[in-house]
Amino acid sequence: MARTMNPTLLGGLTPQQFLDEYWQKKPLLVRQAVPGFTGLEALHDRHAMIDLACRDDVESRFVARAGDAWTIRRGPFAARDFKQRRDAKWTVLVQGVNLHAAGGDQLMRQFDFIPYARLDDLMVSYAVDGGGVGPHFDNYDVFLLQGVGQRRWRIGAQRDKALIDGIPLKILRDFKPSRDWLLNPGDLLYLPPQWAHDGTGVGECMTWSIGFRTAPTQEIAEQFLFHLQDTLQLGGRYADPGLRQQKHPAEIGAAMIDQVEAMLAKVRWNRAIVREFLGRYLTEPKSHVYFSPPDEPLSAARFAAACGKRGLRLDPRTQLLFSGNAFFINGEPSPAPGADRKALQKLADNRQLENLDALTVATVDLLHCWYCDGFLAPR
Ligand code: SIN
Ligand code: CO
């Protein structure tokens, strides 16, 4: 189903045109993708950024440059950490802004022409004039949306990925940019993985990055094996009624190896197991994410009445995905909703429901359980 989107976001391209021509292939610069964008009310200037970077439930980094010397420090910070010399070139970057700033989740979900299963988070950086993290490349796709101020982006498709040795940041040794752009508030730059880039504040500025994730095969396989370990149930036990005396009692005999190989061949999986693994893995909250259940939860009846009037909204921390009739919320599979599958799909896509009209009692009870866990709330 084609979903409605801000028509300027991709500079007049349809989402499918963008996917066919640019996604994971080449950069796209869109002037005035979000006209009038200067950030969100909740995070509009240096002071709001510093407040966030001082919180211990927020992931933040501080990067400063003096000539060829680079410094990186990880938060939480104290406000005095940002009292730098006037000529210092520094930037502070805050991850997971979608979890911490009102409106951040909605901003990130404007990019819903990419599946949520690929979405990572919203990061915001504040840089002073000349501040930035230096020329580097990333392994993920990113949309860089310019907020307040201006940032100069230089990018290139170089093959040479050698990094400078002996410094605490991954900075390209020989950056050879082929494009050079000055981005103004509301301009958007899409970069595929592995493109070299360097963004520098021209005057103080803030940049909003919508980042995506792709796990390495090794990580997916390791996580899958953990999942398999938790779900595996095999019968039988090693047995050797036909044992032959060995020349060397210390030797691991060929018959033993054969038998164990056959036992291990019983470790099997199928599409349903892979689907369940993906549902759990992709919705698993990050390690520093905790939910806040309501102090005095409404009863199921009052909850239904409150949602009946105002609708409900997923908590920004909630990850709700589905595959067919299987739903997964925050790392757990959820009981199949049967008749109300479409409404729950709508909740997962839009992250809100206008009302609970025509939902079965069982679904309202399920939503009430999610509310009691802090996964969603009446609007
Ligand atoms: C980056 O290029 O990954 C950092 C973006 C920024 O400084 O906003
Ligand atoms: Co980058």
Q: Please provide the DSSP assignment of 226-247 as one string.
A: HHHHHH---------TT----S
For residue 91, the ligand 1 atom closest to its alpha carbon is 7
**Is 138 near ligand 1, meaning CB less than 6 Å away?**
yes
Are 39 and 14 spatial neighbours (Cβ–Cβ below 8 Å)? no
Beta strands in 95-217 (DSSP E): 119-127, 142-146, 150-156, 179-183, 188-191, 196-202, 205-212
132 within ligand 1 shell (Cβ under 6 A): yes
Q: Are strands 89-94 and 60-66 parallel, antiparallel or unpaired?
A: antiparallel
Determine the Cα–Cα distance for residues 334 and 175; give it in Å rounded to an integer. Answer: 48
Q: Ligand 1 within 6 A of 34 CB? A: no
pLDDT at 1: 46
User: How far is Cα 33 from Cα 298, in angstroms, rounded to an integer?
Assistant: 41
CATH of domain 15-212: 2.60.120.650
Beta carbon of 207 within 6 Å of any ligand 1 atom:
yes
Helix (H) or strand (E) holding 321: strand 320-323
Running DSSP on this structure, what letter comes out for residue 132?
A: -
Distance 59 CA to ligand 2 centre (A): 16
Q: Which atom of ligand 1 is nearest to the CA of 198?
A: 2
Ligand 2 centroid–CA 78 distance in Å is 25
Which among 60, 120, 125, 151 is the best mutation to test ligand 1's pocket, defined by most ligand atoms within 8 Å of the CB?
A: 125
CATH number assigned to the domain with residue range 300-378, chosen from the 4 options 3.40.50.720, 3.40.366.30, 2.90.10.10, 3.40.190.80:
3.40.366.30
| Ligand that lies nearest to the alpha carbon of residue 134, given by its number in the listed order | 1
Query: What's the alpha-carbon Rg for the chain, to the nearest Å?
Result: 25
Given the structure tokens 């595959």, which residue do they identify?
Answer: 323
Ligand 1 atom nearest to CA at 197:
2
Q: State if residue 104 touches ligand 1 by the CB under 6 angstroms criterion.
A: no
Residue 152, pLDDT score: 98
pLDDT at 87: 85
Count helices and strands (H / E) in the chain.
10, 17
Evaluate the omega torsion of the peptide bond into residue 241 and state whether it is cis, within 30 degrees of 0: no
Evaluate the CA torsion angle 147, 152, 157, 161 in order and state its sign.
negative
- Could you say which residues of the chain have pLDDT below 70? 1-3
pLDDT > 90 in the chain, percent: 93
- Mutation to probe ligand 1, out of 121, 122, 133, 212 (largest number of atoms < 8 A from CB): 133
**pLDDT, tens digit, for every residue of 330-369?**
999 998 778 899 999 999 999 999 989 889 999 999 999 9
pLDDT of 84 = 83
341 Cα to the center of ligand 1, angstroms: 39
Which ligand 1 atom is nearest residue 136's CA?
2
CA torsion through residues 78, 83, 87, 93, sign: positive
Residues contacting residue 293 through CB under 8 Å, at least 6 positions apart: 372, 373, 374
Measured from the CB, is residue 197 less than 6 Å from ligand 1? yes
Ligand 1 centroid from CA 130, angstroms: 13
Nearest ligand to residue 139 Cα: 2
Ligand lying nearest the CA atom of residue 195 = 2
Comparing C-alpha atoms, which of 212, 180, 176 is closest to residue 196?
176
| pLDDT value, residue 3 | 62
Give me 8's structure tokens. 């300027």
- Residue 115 phi/psi, 5-degree rounding, is -60, 145
Q: What is the pLDDT of residue 118?
A: 98
Q: Domain coordinates of the chain in residue numbers?
A: 15-212, 218-236+251-268, 300-378
Q: How far does the centroid of ligand 1 lie from the alpha carbon of residue 146, in Å?
A: 11
Q: Is the CB of 133 under 6 A from ligand 1?
A: yes
